[in-house]
Amino acid sequence: MKKDDIIKLEYEKTQDSAEHYNTMTWTLIAVGIGFSLLLLKFTLLDLLEENFFNVNNYSLQNLAISIGLFVILYFRNLVEGASEKKVFKYGICKIIEKENNFYGQNSEIDNLLISGKHDGIKFFRTSLLILVLLFSATSLFLMANFSSQTIKMLPEIDITNTLIVYGTFLSQIILVWYFFKYEKFYEKSETKVQEILKKLRREKLK
């Protein structure tokens, strides 16, 4: 196989891989945000129910919030990983284009008015932040009401239900802490990919 054919094959494979991760990124974004919104809807709609403020209902609502926060963290990790690979693969395509004087379709995307200025991952991060804040606000509201009612019903409280509610609330605190703690990690990972691509660009195009 000729060198030109090898280069073209590598370019095509890299392009296909980049498109695969791009599709994966948007699919995971849709599934993750959609499932989180479903759980949030389930929790918020119950605020309108007359029997919502029965202390025995709080454990289910708190569990839904904990699951929602866990889903956010899980899908964020999947999406960030797929996005990282996508950016790297497209970066390799740009290097191959410049190195071999191909038409720079991937390089030209950066100059487009919409596609070049807006990145889906930023939309995803903003959406997750809003969801986490909504889940957190709902959780605090639930716990404030639960605590006030528990004090009034001290002789008659259900110990098991109370332990479940406070246990799930503790898990929510840990999940929210984890969300904000690793916020910078994903940004650093994104910067690391760009540094690797810059290094490869200098080596290939010098």
> Tens digits of per-residue pLDDT, 10-26?
878 888 888 888 888 88
- 57 — pLDDT class (breaks 50, 70, 90): low
Q: What percent of the chain has pLDDT over 90?
A: 8
* Token reading at 14: 């890299």
Q: What tens digit of pLDDT does each residue of 68-122 get?
A: 999 999 998 888 888 888 888 888 888 877 777 766 666 666 655 455 445 677 7
* Token reading at 111: 């100059």
| Average pLDDT for the chain | 78
- Are 152 and 55 in contact, with CB atoms under 8 Å apart? no
pLDDT computed for residue 116 by the predictor: 46
- Cβ neighbours, 10 Å, residue 191: 10
Of the candidates 59, 3, 64, the residue with the CA atom closest to the CA atom of residue 36:
64
pLDDT computed for residue 25 by the predictor: 84
* Token reading at 150: 């528990």
- What's the predicted TM-score (pTM) here? 0.79
Q: Which residue has the tokens 């528990």?
A: 150
Q: For residues 26-38, b (16+ Cβ closer than 10 Å) or e, as one string? A: bebbeebbebbee
